[in-house]
Amino acid sequence: MKRVTTRPQPPTPIGESVPRRDGVAKVTGAGRYTVDLGMPGLAHAKVLRSPYPHARIRAIDTAAAIVHPGVIAVVTADDLPDVHLVYGHSVADHPLIATGKVRFAGEPIVGVVADDAVTAEEALRLINVDYEPLPYSTSAEDSLGADAPIIHEKPGEQRAHRGFEEDIERTHPNVCSHSRQAWGDIDDAFARADLVVEGEYRYPRSYAYAMEPYNAIARWGEGDLTVWTSGQHPYMVREDLAHCFGLPLSAVRVVVPYVGGGYGSKSYTKIEPLTAALALRAGRPVRLALSIEESILTTRGDAATVRLRSAFDRDGHILGRQATILLDTGGYAENSPLVGRKAANRLGGPYRIPALEVTCSTVYTNTAPASSFRGFGAPQVTLAGESQIDEAAERLGLDPLEIRRRNVLRPGERPWPGVRGIDADLLADLDLAASELGWDTPLPAGRGRAICLSASDAGSEPMTTSVLRVHADGSVTVTCGSTEIGQGSSTVLAQMAAGEIGVELDRVHLLQSDTAAVTYDRSTGASRTTTLMGLAIQAAARDARAQLVDWAQESLAPDGPTVVEEHSGVRIGDALHDWGAIVRAWFGGHAGECIGRGYIRRHGTTEEMPPFWEIGCVGVEVSVEESTGEIRVEKLVTVGDVGCAINPQLVEGQDVGAAMMGLGMATREELVYEDGNLMNGNLFDYRVPRTTDLPELHTVIAERGDGVGLYGAKGGGEGSLNPVAAAIANAAWRAARIRLHEAPFTPERVWRALRERDATGG
């Protein structure tokens, strides 16, 4: 790891690679995940799923299942008249269990609760469903045909759009949402162009493979509901549960223990409403634990078709970009409308583009629902945008690095009117990547290099709170609604709390993601936690400090002199009083505590949107095997432009993990549908990267203090995924003169491209 730092030094332990706070728990097996929890009376649920991609349900016969020994409850939509069945973050179109119709193979139809999971599974086989199969579509293009089967007869409920009203503009019944992003005079841009590059690019349906499958436990009390879940956003889940069951927010408690992988796939609500409905009918606490095969059918990443035209002048300056994007959202909207809006926003990348016009439609298909997945629209559109930058460089006789230098936004420059200026130095990032990759050094035959960039409007919305409690012994409890999903939030948030309140790290205890015990945070996603929760913790620490200084004056020096605030207490004359002593003095005994509050909203430094730009800067060197079509990434460079690395070792882990995930999707990963069914919905056939896929690594962290967070911090963790497919495609051109437009770049696709090159003498 190489660090390039021009920011001021923050207070210890901020900026230090302290060991992860969840380390001992996770290396001894003591760390508890939702799937490890148990409780007295816990019953187990299994779900019957549709074998048809699209069918009307004529009748469900559950009689034999109900009387099966050990079965506690058998639940269909008809058994839940008291539950609001339909939920959804951006469009409320998703019934927690099928209501009269199924829209993808794998959709839950019946839930069975039994004393144990094996009995529940046995009972599933005793259920008979009478289906009327309907015509189906498994691609966005097919869904938009004139004769396409209509997947949702009526639009999702209007009440729940949560800010997506303007995006719900239907041009075809199967369009789920429609976003548009535009600025400048696009016709003029193309009229003035010396070069227009056009192409269609495809990004696959993908699977995040969080290793802990979706699972939850629901337990009803007297008018209240507690759910333990392997989810990223406890507060969003709380809102949907309150809606489904007609409860006040305060009556719903959502608890998230350690999470076995998220990557966006555990954002928003998944199986929690179904689990709670089953527990309601069973009258017992219920666990619903899905298999990996079921998890793949629960949420996947959006497939994209991007048609892009880019206009350039003869010096390589971008004049305009015009694009249409189709996202295949599957049977339900989930979060795809937001993925679509972000894809439109992210198509421009980190470039100065005088005119842009992008439309993005998310389209229903009879496939598993698509939703958030690391990168969130950016990997899909970056493949298109960055491919055309390199193609333009080739056609104009420019170096790919030089054409980027001519177009990247300079610090503070706004990508489009009304948004935050770019909070990064992209020229410097490019130079770092080029130097690590050895851009100008000779290459052997069959190898090629590329450097690609991305910029994402990240951080989601600033709606974040924290409470910092200073106890009578001077130790500190910090509560926050941000989830530890492996990214290291339990470590970096504690580091920031310790640095801001001025106590030793081992005196700080962090409590996360229990809606009954910690205060509100919108979500753990969009790389926002370090930046926004960091700011909330800083605000809470400052609030506590201000109170403690007043308390010290009032109780330790009522008649003067004026107390002086120090890093870890106050000074009165020559005497230093730590925070604990002030708490004790103010309460007049040996106990008490001071409560600091932190609120972060669209105000002050976090008023402008987005809260920050997340930069991706990745370089690769690839080899292309002419006889087999295998592409191998030989060398991988990541530049983590994170403003201030609160914990550099964890930043490096995020960058490498993200880039390797991108490498998987660029080279192998794709969920394949045939005849309405998912053909490779298991880990035998859906192959994720292994140790043997790891290239030679060069990681760089650039810290220029240019973010809105503490000491200039801003988010990371998605950036190093976003440009990977584009970088591999561009490097393949330089290695073998083939343009790859469809990810993943499997040996078959690459081999075909090589043969086509040979056939056309290219």
Interaction between residue 683 and other proteins (CB under 8 A): yes
Interaction between residue 36 and other proteins (CB under 8 A): yes
Q: Count CB atoms within 10 A of the CB of residue 601.
A: 14
Minimum distance from CB of 213 to other proteins (Å)? 7
Residues 367-426 that bind other proteins (CB under 8 A): none
Interaction between residue 39 and other proteins (CB under 8 A): no
- Give 445 or 684: the residue with its C-beta nearer to other proteins: 684
Residues 230-269 that bind other proteins (CB under 8 A): 258-263
Q: Count CB atoms within 10 A of the CB of residue 568.
A: 15
Phi-psi region of 653 (alpha: psi -120 to 50; beta: other; left: phi over 0): alpha
Secondary structure letter of residue 603 according to DSSP: S
Interaction between residue 211 and other proteins (CB under 8 A): yes
Q: Per the structure block, which two tokens stand in for 579?
A: 């925070």
* Helix boundaries (H) for 166-215: 186-191
Contacts with other proteins: how many residues (CB under 8 A)?
55
- Give 32 or 395: the residue with its C-beta nearer to other proteins: 32
Q: Count CB atoms within 10 A of the CB of residue 592.
A: 17
- One-letter-per-residue 3-state SS of 693-731: HCCEEEEEEEECCCCCCHHHCCCCCCCCCCCHHHHHHHH
How many whole angstroms separate alpha carbon 108 and alpha carbon 110?
A: 6
- Give 291 or 605: the residue with its C-beta nearer to other proteins: 291
Interaction between residue 701 and other proteins (CB under 8 A): no
Interaction between residue 690 and other proteins (CB under 8 A): yes
Q: Which of 201, 209, 673, 745 binds other proteins (CB under 8 A)?
A: 209
Interaction between residue 650 and other proteins (CB under 8 A): yes
- Give 391 or 652: the residue with its C-beta nearer to other proteins: 652
Minimum distance from CB of 414 to other proteins (Å)? 33
Interaction between residue 224 and other proteins (CB under 8 A): no
Contact predicate 479/467, CB 8 Å:
yes
Minimum distance from CB of 618 to other proteins (Å)? 13
Contact predicate 71/12, CB 8 Å:
no
Interaction between residue 604 and other proteins (CB under 8 A): no
- Give 332 or 373: the residue with its C-beta nearer to other proteins: 373
Provide the angle, in degrees to the nearest 10, between the axes of the packed helices 272-282 and 234-245. Answer: 50
Interaction between residue 42 and other proteins (CB under 8 A): no
Residues 1-30 that bind other proteins (CB under 8 A): 17, 19-20, 22-30
Minimum distance from CB of 118 to other proteins (Å)? 8
How many whole angstroms separate alpha carbon 688 and alpha carbon 744?
A: 12
Contact predicate 740/750, CB 8 Å:
yes
Interaction between residue 652 and other proteins (CB under 8 A): yes
Residues 287-346 that bind other proteins (CB under 8 A): 291-292
Interaction between residue 697 and other proteins (CB under 8 A): yes
Q: What are the distances in angstroms from CA 353 to CA 64, 311, 316, 428, 449?
A: 64, 10, 12, 20, 25
Interaction between residue 539 and other proteins (CB under 8 A): no
Minimum distance from CB of 260 to other proteins (Å)? 3
Secondary structure letter of residue 8 according to DSSP: P
Stretch that binds other proteins, among 195-203, 241-249, 625-633, 658-666 (CB under 8 A): 658-666
How many whole angstroms separate alpha carbon 176 and alpha carbon 93?
A: 10
Residues 477-506 that bind other proteins (CB under 8 A): 485-488
Do β-strands 696-703 and 631-641 pair in parallel, antiparallel, or remain unpaired?
Answer: parallel
Do β-strands 215-220 and 286-289 pair in parallel, antiparallel, or remain unpaired?
Answer: antiparallel
Q: Which of 428, 516, 672, 688 binds other proteins (CB under 8 A)?
A: 688
Minimum distance from CB of 248 to other proteins (Å)? 33
User: What values do phi and psi take at 222, rounded to 5?
Assistant: -80, 90
Interaction between residue 69 and other proteins (CB under 8 A): no
Q: Which of 306, 363, 422, 660 binds other proteins (CB under 8 A)?
A: 660
Interaction between residue 41 and other proteins (CB under 8 A): no
Close Cβ partners of 103 (under 8 Å, ≥ 6 residues apart):
53, 54, 151, 152, 331, 332, 364, 366
Stretch that binds other proteins, among 141-149, 561-569, 627-635, 655-663 (CB under 8 A): 655-663
Contact predicate 139/300, CB 8 Å:
no
Interaction between residue 70 and other proteins (CB under 8 A): no
Interaction between residue 590 and other proteins (CB under 8 A): no
Q: List interacting residues with other proteins (CB under 8 A).
A: 17, 19-20, 22-33, 35-36, 208-213, 258-263, 291-292, 485-488, 649-650, 652-653, 656-661, 682-684, 688-692, 694, 697
